[in-house]
Structure 1
Amino acid sequence: MALARPSSDTVTHHDVRVMVIDDSVVTRVIVARIIDAMAGHAVVAAVGGIGAALAVLARERIDVILLDLNLPGIDGLSGLPTLAALAPQAAILVLSATCDDGSAAALHARSLGAVATIAKPASSAMVGRFAERLQTAVVDAVQSPGPAARDAWDVIAIGASTGGIHALAPLLAAIPAECDVPMLLTQHLPASFTGYFAGQLARLARRPVDVGADSLRIRRGRMVLAPGDAHLRVVATTDGAAIRLDRTPAASGCLPSVDPMFESVARVYGARALVVVLSGMGRDGCRGAAQVKAHGGAVAAQERQSSVVWGMPGAVVEAGLATTIGTPEQLGAFIARGRRPA
């Protein structure tokens, strides 16, 4: 049942219009009171599920959506992309008991477009510090600038192993052709399969794919694939960056290994790097991801349910290195939005 709210006639054009989505009537009432106590803010709808929220968005302008994840029918994470698509101007804040800072749920929500996540206490504790934190988050969400016009990253490096080929197709399909950020890919494959795989990738990625070679320039609008018998390393040049092949044994024992690629990307691109860890056995990529994060870059990992083997992405998540978690489709959409995780 939806909570009765003031009609649109009683809310001024300049008010920040808020919708609360939570299956608990008590929580909806308390959160609405917290928001209504803010000058210039008004809760215009408080509903118990995604379906009712979509009906509100079809007829109302909403500036901020406060979304619970534990909802009947369509859960919050599943419904979040639809809410974002229907109300692209709205800032979505997730309020959930499972959204502690750095939790998998919080990272997943951010990868789907949430601007902030707040751990929701029991209804009896929704006063004091929680109320202040919620009010601050709403103000920050409204005042924060939109995504920058320029790309958030100067390079996207992807590492994958078992199950990675299946994950690459939906990830690349979600990235529009006009996204011309250079891409690097290390996929554990035998050298004899590299040329054929490069041809497949070119069709999936809708961009030329080069098999890595010494001194190959890293160029916009192209992808570089690690050969099956060498690691990809990136070196800075006077006018950009280039590939250097390396056959030194890696700590992971893999050839090619994801770690050398990530480590070199961190050194050359720093905070302008995004690395993505897809399905794969073992821990390859974890050491390199740590270097990327230490240099201020972003680390994305495939979530467990969609992974054939959650070894490589799981190691990154469990080490607390992932800034974004999602299915391949969701990670592709995250790249397409070009927005760095907060």
Structure 2
Amino acid sequence: MRVLIVDDSVVTRAVLTRIVEAIPGHRVVAAVGGIVQATGRLASEAADLILLDINLPGIDGLSGLPDLLAAAPGVRVIVLSGDCADGSPTACHAMSLGAAATLAKPESSPLAGGFAARLEALVERVMRTVPRVTGNAATARSDVFDIIAIGASTGGIHALAPLLAAIPPELDVPILVTQHLPGTFTEYFAQQLTALARRPVDVARDSLRIQRGRLIVAPGDAHIRVVQTSEGAATRLDRAPSISGCMPSVDPMFDSVAQVFGARALAIVLSGMGRDGARGAANIRAAGGVVAVQDQASSVVWGMPGAVAEAGLANTIGTPAQLGAFVARRRRPA
């Protein structure tokens, strides 16, 4: 098994190399100090397993994880960090981004607390139980979501760009967007989204069918509600006052998506002030769907995503680019 080590510490790279090469049938093909060097090596050197640190110069490990997975289809990644205690938010985040496993580094010494034995056991388990993807198997995965509903407010337009850029055009799951925005800007916003999402964009209207490969944005003067018709799901405009006081509001969109799509729904909450979307996110989770929210560090205002995260409703938390990469992998979080 070919192993790539990515860690900014020369000492840790040397220790990890000794541990890995003591495991029968494993060899280190490269040990580098950052994501850019790692992706460069993967362009010319195949790897079956990557041992990845989080605190790296330039691009941090979690931000770079999707790039590593894209550069080496089928590779398995074990994230090593002092922040990766079992069940910690960092460990859960790493797993949601595609890591096969995580392991907490000891704080004092790379070999303290039986770390070598624990890493060796984890490597053997991961390499034994996670199948390698070969040929076109990676592109044969079926979509696990039938709808993606995105809610945003202050800072949301800025967040939408990297999120949508990370979703490939061939992933044709329909997307709904409710962005708090005056009605006078709706048409211009729709034109912006057409370029960002690389797919046709419609402004929601009554009886507009929800179709694969298209994005629908809420108008400035009405909420989007999803209804089931004899010809499939469609949008209906709702101008009733919302609990949040927003027009359009994210909650009615999430509420109706939960009713129609249930466990096949993915809700994403981006930067925004207030709590709009929190009630709807609870309904998405209650229906078996998945909720993803933008992290605090990348949010202009962490009101909306923070309300969802603090209520324990978020299946995954990340930057907009990381959330887009999560969508692109077409896998539900563990």
Q: What TM-score does the superposition give when structure 2 sets the normalisation length?
A: 0.82
Q: Distance in 2 between matches of 1:301 and 1:315?
A: 10
Q: Distance in 1 between matches of 2:256 and 2:183?
A: 22
Question: What amino acid maps onto 1:90 in structure 2?
Answer: V
Question: What amino acid maps onto 2:203 in structure 1?
Answer: V
Shift of 1:19: 3.1
After superposition, give the CA deviation of every residue in 1:11-61 in whole Å (9 maximum; x if it has no partner). Answer: xxxxx3333434374686478647855x6x414247362266456545542
Shift of 1:79: 3.8
1:321 maps to which residue? 313
Q: How does 1:52-63 map to 2 (within 5 A)?
A: 53=38, 57=42, 60-63=45-48
Give the conservation status (yes or no) of the 8 Å contact 1:35–1:135: no
* Structure 2 SS opposite 1:275: strand
Shift of 1:151: 2.1
Q: Measured at CA, do residues 53 and 329 of structure 1 come closer, stay the same or move farther in structure 2, by a change above 3 Å?
A: closer
Shift of 1:188: 0.8
Query: Identity of aligned pairs, percent?
Result: 61
Report whether the alignment pairs 1:220 with 2:212. Answer: yes
1:5 maps to which residue? none
* Structure 2 SS opposite 1:117: strand
Q: Measured at CA, do residues 332 and 304 of structure 1 come closer, stay the same or move farther in structure 2, by a change above 3 Å?
A: same
Q: Distance in 1 between matches of 2:232 and 2:90?
A: 37
Report whether the alignment pairs 1:105 with 2:90. Answer: yes
Q: How does 1:65-76 map to 2 (within 5 A)?
A: 65-71=50-56, 75-76=60-61
Give the conservation status (yes or no) of the 8 Å contact 2:5–2:16: no
* Structure 1 SS opposite 2:228: strand
After superposition, give the CA deviation of every residue in 1:259-289 in whole Å (9 maximum; x if it has no partner). Answer: 2211221222122211111111112112222
Give the conservation status (yes or no) of the 8 Å contact 2:84–2:90: yes
* Structure 2 SS opposite 1:300: strand
1:258 maps to which residue? 250
Q: Distance in 2 between matches of 1:270 and 1:224?
A: 19
* Structure 2 SS opposite 1:316: helix
Give the conservation status (yes or no) of the 8 Å contact 1:21–1:28: no
Q: Structure 2: 5+ residue runs without aligned partners? A: none
Report whether the alignment pairs 1:115 with 2:100. Answer: yes
Shift of 1:108: 4.3
2:3 maps to which residue? 18
Give the conservation status (yes or no) of the 8 Å contact 1:63–1:142: no
Q: Measured at CA, do residues 116 and 315 of structure 1 come closer, stay the same or move farther in structure 2, by a change above 3 Å?
A: farther
1:243 maps to which residue? 235
Higher mean C-alpha deviation, range 113-122 or range 236-245: 113-122
After superposition, give the CA deviation of every residue in 1:129-166 in whole Å (9 maximum; x if it has no partner). Answer: 77655543443334688565322321111100011112
Q: Measured at CA, do residues 254 and 28 of structure 1 come closer, stay the same or move farther in structure 2, by a change above 3 Å?
A: farther
Question: What amino acid maps onto 1:44 in structure 2?
Answer: V
1:230 maps to which residue? 222
Report whether the alignment pairs 1:141 with 2:130. Answer: yes
Q: Which runs of 4+ in 1 moved over 4 A?
A: 34-37, 51-56, 101-104, 127-134, 143-148
Shift of 1:312: 1.2
1:204 maps to which residue? 196
Q: Structure 1: 5+ residue runs without aligned partners? A: 1-15
After superposition, give the CA deviation of every residue in 1:285-329 in whole Å (9 maximum; x if it has no partner). Answer: 122222222333222222223221121122223333223333223
Q: Distance in 1 between matches of 2:333 and 2:139?
A: 11
Report whether the alignment pairs 1:271 with 2:260. Answer: no
Question: What amino acid maps onto 2:102 in structure 1?
Answer: T
Q: Distance in 1 between matches of 2:58 and 2:161?
A: 29
* Structure 2 SS opposite 1:253: coil
* Structure 2 SS opposite 1:192: helix
Q: Count how many residue pairs are aligned between Structure 1 and Structure 2.
A: 325
1:167 to 138, 159, 176: 159
Q: How does 1:296-307 map to 2 (within 5 A)?
A: 296-307=288-299
Question: What amino acid maps onto 2:55 in structure 1?
Answer: N
Shift of 1:110: 4.2
Shift of 1:218: 1.0
2:279 maps to which residue? 287
